[in-house]
Structure formats: C-alpha cells, structure tokens
C-alpha cells in the first residue's frame, strides 16, 4: 500500500522525474553495479516523509539506505524539489487561482531530537531540541513560503526573511498584489514589525498583545490548519535531519502534496473530465 494515495503520488512522481536532467555514464568500461531507478528511490523518500522513519526502515534488497541518502543529496544539489514546488504553485494559480490579496503568517514548533542547523531549545517542550517553521499562506491555506529555523527564535524576527522569499514568487506567479492584507497573531505585535510592514506596503492586521481574540478573527485559523496538514507528515512532526538543506527538501515535498490534494478537491467542483471520480474525497 503506498504511503499516499496513488492519485497524488503518480502525478507528483512523473513530473519530478521529468525535471531530472538526463544522466550520462562517463565510465570507460561501464559500471558493474546498475543504478537504482529514480522512481524506486522517490517512492522510498515519500515513505520517509510520511512515516517519519529512518532510512534503514524503508531500505530493502532493491534500494539501500546509503542509496537513499546519496540520491537525496544529489537531488538537493540540483534543486529539483523546489522547482517542482514552484511548478505546482503555478499550476494551482492557473487552474484555481491563488488569493494573494489576503496572506496569513504564523510559526509552528515541532520536535528535532537529533539537533542540527535548525534546532534550538524549545520554549514549549521543557527546553528540548525543537524546530520552528515560519509559515506564510494565502487565503485558502495554500503554503507559499515555509522557512525552517531553531525553535528558540521568535516569530517576529523570522517574518522579514519569510516576506522576502514571498516577493521572490513574483518570478513564477507573475505580478503580486501591491498592498496585500497580512493577518498576524499577538506574537508579531512589535513596533519594528509594524514599521517593516509599512515600508513594504502591506496592510497588517495584528492582534494586540494581552487581548483574548478567537482564532477565527482575521482568518488566522487558515494558517493553523496548514500547520496541521504539514504536521501530519512524520518527518516534519519529528524531524531527525540535521542539515537545513535536507529539511527544506522534505518541507518542499510536503507542501507539494498539500497543494496537489487541495487542487484535486477544488478542480472536482470547477472542471469535468472523463475519469472524474464520483466524490471529491481522496482515497
């Protein structure tokens, strides 16, 4: 049984393999050890993402743990996973439309027991090693930017880098709204944050510190739902990767599945095709 439904896995896998450059064997005598197929390795890495297990757990006679790590690092160097994430965002924008006039940002802390570049003392887990994700979504909860950082870094200090990465999406999505509305919780209620947002031309809706405001106010529940979607992947819920590049690799893969799932559900009510299922529920 696949780690994710085949209607999600197959299109993502096919597009990922199409982005890989053609591999040339420069060995003069050839290689006695045949290269493991990329689709086999990709499926194993998806299992690592979903189940959060070690590479040795998903390795078998067809693919070793060393091959998984080596191929993961090869794909990280090529940057194909980020290319695929941007391609999926662009496809969603063309078919459904991203609501970029209303943005929501928030931080999410998870466990990072192995330490590493993005691990720090967690303020919500008795000082244990933790990872923070600075998450920016559009109005429907589609993840736009996800920046990993140590858990002991405050949310408001990560916001400038998150917004800078968002501005970079203009190269893929086209012109972005000049004055979007940004919803933030009380963790961002600081003067430097308001000044920075004013310089960027962003209409900030920040909850005042000390005020009890329901999460429904300002639509901030959307980013909390997105954080919950991402935390359903075991590798992000309890991250054992030590390098930031590897963490970003798995975050990009998780965002791809979240976006594709949302795209299929939205397309069910917007389009008709021959193999359209009888229900929008993804099985």
Say how far apart CA 100 and CA 144 lie, in whole Å. 10
C-alpha 184 chain-centroid distance:
20
pLDDT of residue 29: 67
143-150/181-184 β-pairing: unpaired
Output the CA–CA distances (angstroms, integers) from residue 224 to 66, 80, 142, in the order listed.
Answer: 36, 28, 12
pLDDT at 1 over 60: no
pLDDT of residue 254: 97
3-state SS record for the chain: CCCCCHHHHHHHHHHHHHHCCCCCCCCCCCCCCCCCCHHHHHHHHHHHHHHCCCHHHHCCCCCCHHHHHHHHHHHHHHCHHHHHHHHHHHHHHHHCCCCCCEEEEEEEEEECCCCCCCCEECCCCCCCEEEEEEEEECCCCCEEEEEEEECCCCHHHHHHHHHHHHHCCHHHHCCCCCCCEEEECHHHCCHHHHHHHHHHCCEEEECCCCCCCCCCHHHCHHHHHHHHHHHCCHHHHECCCCCHHHHHHHHHHHHHHHHHHHHHHHHHHHCCCCCCCCCCCCC
Locate 50 and state its tokens. 């979903």
pLDDT of residue 122: 95
User: Mean pLDDT, to the nearest integer, of 249-269?
Assistant: 94
pLDDT of residue 183: 92
Name, in order, each residue with C-beta under 8 angstroms of 166's C-beta and a sequence gap of 6 or more: 103, 136, 144, 145, 176
User: Mean pLDDT, to the nearest integer, of 254-262?
Assistant: 96
Task: Tell me the average pLDDT of the chain.
Answer: 92
Say how far apart CA 54 and CA 234 lie, in whole Å. 11
120-121/143-150 β-pairing: unpaired
* Domain coordinates in residue numbering, the chain: 99-243
| Of the candidates 113, 86, 45, the residue with the CA atom closest to the CA atom of residue 172 | 86
Instruction: Give pLDDT tens digits for 129-148.
Output: 999 999 999 999 999 999 99
pLDDT category of residue 225 using cuts at 50, 70 and 90: very high
Say how far apart CA 47 and CA 230 lie, in whole Å. 15
CATH of domain 99-243: 3.30.420
| Of the candidates 234, 49, 223, 217, the residue with the CA atom closest to the CA atom of residue 134 | 223
pLDDT at 252 over 80: yes
pLDDT category of residue 202 using cuts at 50, 70 and 90: very high
pLDDT of residue 216: 66
Find the range with the poorest average confidence among 26-35, 83-92, 268-277: 26-35
pLDDT category of residue 238 using cuts at 50, 70 and 90: very high
- How many CB atoms neighbour CB 42 within 10 A? 20
């Amino acid at each position: 049984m696949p780690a994710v439904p085949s209607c999600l896995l197959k299109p993502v896998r096919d597009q990922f393999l199409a982005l890989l450059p053609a591999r040339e064997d420069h060995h003069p005598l050839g290689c006695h050890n045949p290269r493991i197929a990329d689709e086999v390795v990709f499926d194993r890495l998806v299992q690592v993402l979903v189940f959060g297990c070690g590479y040795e757990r998903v390795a078998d006679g067809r693919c070793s743990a060393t091959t998984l790590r080596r191929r993961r690092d090869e794909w990280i160097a090529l940057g194909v996973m980020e290319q695929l994430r941007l391609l999926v965002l662009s496809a969603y924008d063309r078919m459904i439309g991203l609501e970029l006039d209303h943005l929501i940002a928030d931080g999410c802390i998870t466990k990072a027991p192995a330490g590493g570049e993005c691990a720090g003392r967690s303020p919500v887990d008795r000082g244990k090693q933790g990872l923070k994700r600075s998450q920016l979504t559009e109005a429907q909860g589609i993840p736009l930017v996800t920046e990993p950082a140590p858990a002991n870094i405050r949310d408001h200090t990560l916001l400038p880098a998150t917004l800078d990465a968002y501005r970079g999406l203009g190269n893929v999505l086209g012109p972005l709204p000049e004055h979007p509305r940004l919803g933030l919780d009380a963790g961002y209620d600081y003067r430097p944050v308001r000044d920075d947002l004013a310089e960027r031309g962003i209409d900030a809706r920040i909850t005042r510190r000390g005020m009890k405001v329901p999460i429904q106010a300002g639509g901030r529940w959307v980013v909390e739902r997105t954080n919950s979607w991402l935390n359903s992947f075991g590798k992000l819920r309890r991250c054992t990767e030590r390098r930031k590049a590897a963490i970003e690799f798995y975050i990009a893969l998780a965002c791809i599945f979240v976006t594709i799932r949302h795209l299929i559900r939205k397309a069910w009510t917007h389009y008709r095709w021959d193999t359209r299922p009888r229900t929008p529920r993804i099985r």
